[in-house]
């Protein structure tokens, strides 16, 4: 960190709608589960409230039986290795701001997406992406700025499939699109 830079601490998104956190529950235990804000491109303060609302909506999907069953069914079919459940995938996520990330993989993805859009103006840049099974999810500024909390929740729930083990290839992305009908739309 440079001189005068703020200290970023990875920590859970903590919102009042969290569902009554159990103060005696150990981290990761039921009653104390929540995804994190990350530091590899810290989510700007002006977007945090919207992201907190989106996180609450994404967690609310865990109560929607058809969504969870469909998530489990799809991820089990396409996962590389042992798949994670929806809640476990959400709990393993760390949300980062793609536009200020210093991670070389993220910087490359951002540049490639811009180049692809220049070559083909109809190419749609995704609002976010996840690096493999790491749980590190990156959200682009246009999504945070222009999308509703519900659409960002759709993005978070979609990215949870990748944290759960689903690869990011074209075939899998087409199959994963069926989840949108049981959750929230990911695009405006």
The whole-number pLDDT of residue 129 equals 95
pLDDT score recorded for residue 5: 46
Residue whose C-alpha is closest to residue 130's, from 91, 171, 165, 100:
165
Q: State yes or no: pLDDT of 7 exceeds 70.
A: no
Give the pLDDT score at 26: 57
The string of pLDDT tens digits covering residues 111-130 is 999 999 999 999 999 999 99
Average pLDDT score over the chain: 84
pLDDT in tens, 148-158: 999 999 999 99
pLDDT digits 0-9 by tens, 65-117: 999 999 999 999 998 788 888 988 998 899 999 999 999 999 999 999 999 99
Q: What is the structure's pLDDT at 178?
A: 84
Nearest to 21 by CA among 30, 10, 13, 8: 30
First to last CA, the chain: 36
**Stronger pLDDT, 18 or 45, i.e. the higher one:** 45
Q: How confident is the model at residue 8 (pLDDT cuts 50, 70, 90)?
A: low
Q: Residue 51: which residues within 8 A CB-CB, separation 6 or more?
A: 13, 37, 43, 95, 139, 144, 152
Task: Give 133-146 pLDDT, tens digit per residue.
Answer: 788 999 999 999 99
64 or 188, greater pLDDT: 64
């Amino acid at each position: 960190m440079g001189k005068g830079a703020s200290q970023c601490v990875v920590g859970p998104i903590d919102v009042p709608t969290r569902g009554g956190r159990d103060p005696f529950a150990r981290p990761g235990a039921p009653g104390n589960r929540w995804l994190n804000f990350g530091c590899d491109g810290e989510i700007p303060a002006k977007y945090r409230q919207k992201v907190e609302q989106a996180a609450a909506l994404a967690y609310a999907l865990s109560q929607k039986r058809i969504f969870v069953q469909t998530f489990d069914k799809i991820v089990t079919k396409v996962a590389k290795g042992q798949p994670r459940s929806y809640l476990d995938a959400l709990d393993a996520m760390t949300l980062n701001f793609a536009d200020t990330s210093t991670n070389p993989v993220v910087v490359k993805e951002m540049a490639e997406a811009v180049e692809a859009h220049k070559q083909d103006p109809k190419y749609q840049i995704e609002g976010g992406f996840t690096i493999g099974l790491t749980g590190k999810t990156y959200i682009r500024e246009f999504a945070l700025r222009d999308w509703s909390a519900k659409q960002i929740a759709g993005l978070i729930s979609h990215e949870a499939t990748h944290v759960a083990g689903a690869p990011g290839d074209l075939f899998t992305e087409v199959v994963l699109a069926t989840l949108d009908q049981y959750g929230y739309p990911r695009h405006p």
